[in-house]
Amino acid sequence: MTSIKHVGIVGAGQMGRGIAEVCARAGVHVTLCDVSEERARAGLAGIADSLLKAEKRGALTPEDRAQALTRVSVGDDLSRLSGADLVIEAAVEDERAKTALFRRLSEVVTDPAAVLASNTSSIPIARLAAAAGRPQTVIGLHFFNPVPVMPLVEVIPALHTSKATELRVRAFVGEALGKKTIVTQDRAGFVVNSLLVPYLLAAVRMVSSGTATAEDIDTGMTAGCAHPMGPLRLADLIGLDTVAAIGEALYEEYREPLYAPPPLLRRMVESGLLGRKSGQGFFSYRAA
């Protein structure tokens, strides 16, 4: 077993509540925080719904489901994270917001050995570590959506992250949570998104240029390349705002045109067409 018994999570959206769920199912006490009590409780409701679905699939017993829920507490006060062994930031993919949050976390998390981690998809961890002022205990832990299902977590040590911190979180993620880990250098996009996002953006450009419809592009990749999901449905699932934000971060880092979000993607985000979470993206998710 690892030394991590209490995990704090900041951000009760899809990723944050998914991370909270896998931690609670692993027997770890979780404190889930968001900017308001209402949003935090909505995150808890999402966890309860996901656990119930797992029980109906036979993946959990009713007793295990009930126990997991008792391990999650929620609120809007970051000071509740003061005793956490590990705090995972899963807030909006915005560098300014994340750096401000890491400054605040360095003030409220009192144990100097506690690890501060980010679930960022693309922002260099060194920038967050500098904001925290305790870079030896800051690291990236990039989970994948949906967290209870996807087995991978990218572990991203920054230049000043201690080896002890890296080994501690890898042991926790691998042994306690049962996830597979890969270690990547602290570069925007890390491994997976550096490969994935240019592919998604290329599909957006094909729609924009009229090469093919969204339906035909996705069918081409599922039926022709055996991908489980086409690129545009995958972009909708991730969130078009998140895809655009990752593209921006990659373009800022590398200045490669293939990373730049296409105008069509920018206009969709500006128009609130964010994909599955808004009900409309390249495909419609609204009930008929």
The confidence band for 1, taking pLDDT boundaries of 50, 70 and 90, is: very low
Burial class (CB within 10 angstroms; exposed 0-12, middle 13-18, buried 19+) of 123: buried
**Is there a single domain that holds both residue 179 and residue 197?**
no
- 230 Cβ neighbours under 8 A, 6+ residues apart: 203, 217, 218, 219, 220, 221, 222
- pLDDT at residue 96, as a whole number: 92
**Is there a single domain that holds both residue 168 and residue 213?**
no
CATH number at residue 128: 3.40.50.720
Whether 154 is a known active-site residue: answer yes
Q: Is residue 283 part of a domain?
A: no
Question: pLDDT for 183-206, tens place per residue?
Answer: 999 998 899 999 999 999 999 999
Domain span at residue 119 reads 6-183
Catalytic residue, candidates 50, 193, 194, 278: 193
Catalytic residue, candidates 119, 122, 142, 194: 142
CATH number at residue 248: 1.10.1040.10
**Is there a single domain that holds both residue 231 and residue 270?**
yes
Phi, psi of 100 (to 5 degrees): -65, -40
Catalytic residue, candidates 121, 122, 194, 278: 121
Among candidate residues 161, 183, 205, the one where a domain is terminated: 183
Whether 106 is a known active-site residue: answer no
Q: Is residue 1 part of a domain?
A: no
Task: Name the residue among 233, 235, 258, 234 with its Cα closest to residue 247.
Answer: 258
Average pLDDT over residues 269-282: 97
Whether 284 is a known active-site residue: answer no
Residue 15 corresponds to which amino acid?
Answer: M
- pLDDT at residue 2, as a whole number: 60
**Is there a single domain that holds both residue 176 and residue 66?**
yes
Average pLDDT over residues 55-73: 96
**Domains in the chain, number:** 2
Q: What percent of the chain is helix, strand and coil (3-state, nearest 5)?
A: 50, 15, 35
**Is there a single domain that holds both residue 177 and residue 203?**
no
Q: Is residue 271 part of a domain?
A: yes
Whether 193 is a known active-site residue: answer yes
